[in-house]
């Protein structure tokens, strides 16, 4: 058995801790900047312009947010001869500004020219994100949301996070009730988790290894989750309902195959689903129709939380102070 207090374990823990710090800081800065762009856009009364990014050209920004390129150039104080395909980041560097500061300046310029216009980029969901499901939520509401999260929890490759944020956005507009949407999302997800657990319990390892692709199980995912489950048990259920939710269906199957206690499985799954649903619904509600920004913010926040958690786990190993290990 691997000794967590050995010199080798301490070296590995120290290495993991140090390697986790840099991405944690990087994701933390990105999360903070994403939030600041959203806040500044709301302060300007135009939340849709929080999608302005340093990589955009003048032409692209003007077309995306439906403002005349020459008016944007003039508002930014640029010479009229500047090429419309100049990147905002390049302009910032030429002015001696940070790309982030100039992006905020571009936000203000766009808001002053056309504060009431929405960007073309947000007129429809990302076609790669299962827009049939997203459209169904817009048309049918709660039943479509429930179906999306039920199937997603069972392993179907559906945009469950995006669908939940869309529900939060609809709640912000008054088209859905936030508590009802949250309750339906959690209930549907838990039902899907329980069905996947029951499939694993009833059909066993051999069937899942043969037909696991029906539930989103690949050999790589299976091996990774099996290792996690053997090491962390019920905490794996919680983590795969929050930080790495794409592995949730595999863990549910494995819990059923291993005859993990059903009450414990549901308890961990319920806690994870409540936290996950509250996060996605809450961000969708706060940001409203600007789902692209919400997605980016949550990705950065998730990365930050994952690496901070990794550093927090590695630190006591590096120091030789692992709780419960003597």
The residue that leads in pLDDT, 240 or 196, is: 196
Task: Give helix 291-319 / helix 7-43 axis angle, nearest 10°.
Answer: 160
- pLDDT for the residue numbered 119: 43
Residues 6+ apart with CB under 8 A from 321: none
Give the global pTM.
Answer: 0.54
- Which residue blocks in 154-247 are alpha helix, DSSP H? 160-172, 178-211, 219-232, 234-239
pLDDT tens per residue across span 194-211: 998 888 888 776 776 666
Compute the Cα dihedral for 309, 313, 318, 321 and give only its sign.
positive
Distance from C-alpha of 24 to C-alpha of 307, rounded to nearest angstrom: 5
Helix (H, G, I), strand (E, B) or coil at 324: coil
Please tell me the total number of residues recorded for the chain in this structure: 326
In the predicted model, what is the mean pLDDT of residues 121-127?
40
Nearest to residue 187, comparing CAs of 177, 176, 195, 175? 195
Mean pLDDT computed over every residue of the chain? 75
In the predicted model, what is the mean pLDDT of residues 159-187?
85
Distance from C-alpha of 89 to C-alpha of 162, rounded to nearest angstrom: 29
CA torsion angle 193 199 204 208 (round to 10): -80
């Amino acid at each position: 058995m691997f000794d967590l207090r050995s010199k080798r374990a301490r070296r590995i823990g120290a290495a993991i801790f140090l390697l986790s710090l840099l991405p944690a800081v990087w994701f933390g800065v990105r999360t903070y900047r994403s939030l600041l762009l959203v806040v500044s856009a709301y302060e300007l009364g135009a939340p849709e312009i929080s999608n302005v990014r340093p990589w955009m050209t003048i032409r692209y920004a003007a077309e995306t947010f439906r403002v005349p390129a020459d008016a944007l150039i003039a508002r930014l104080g640029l010479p009229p001869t500047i090429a419309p395909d100049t990147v905002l980041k390049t302009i910032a560097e030429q002015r001696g500004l940070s790309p982030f500061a100039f992006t905020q300046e571009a936000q203000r310029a766009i808001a002053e020219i056309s504060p009431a216009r929405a960007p073309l980029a947000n007129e429809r969901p990302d076609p790669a994100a299962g827009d049939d499901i997203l459209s169904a939520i817009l048309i049918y509401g709660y039943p479509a949301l429930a179906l999306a999260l039920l199937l997603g929890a069972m392993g179907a490759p559906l945009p469950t996070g995006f669908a939940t944020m869309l529900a939060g956005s609809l709640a912000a507009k008054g088209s859905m009730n936030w508590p009802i949407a949250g309750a339906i999302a959690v209930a549907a997800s838990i039902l899907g988790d329980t069905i996947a657990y029951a499939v694993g319990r009833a059909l066993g390892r051999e069937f899942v290894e043969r037909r696991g692709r029906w539930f989103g199980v690949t050999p790589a995912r299976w091996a990774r989750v099996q290792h996690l489950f053997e090491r962390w048990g019920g905490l794996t259920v919680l983590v795969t309902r929050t930080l790495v939710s794409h592995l949730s269906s595999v863990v549910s199957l494995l819990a059923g195959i291993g005859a993990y206690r059903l009450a414990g499985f549901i308890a961990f799954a319920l806690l994870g689903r409540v936290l996950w649903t509250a996060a996605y619904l809450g961000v969708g509600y706060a940001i409203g129709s600007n789902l692209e920004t919400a997605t980016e913010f949550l990705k950065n926040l998730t990365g930050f939380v994952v690496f901070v958690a990794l550093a927090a786990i590695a630190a006591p190993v590096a120091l030789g102070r692992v709780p419960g290990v003597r």
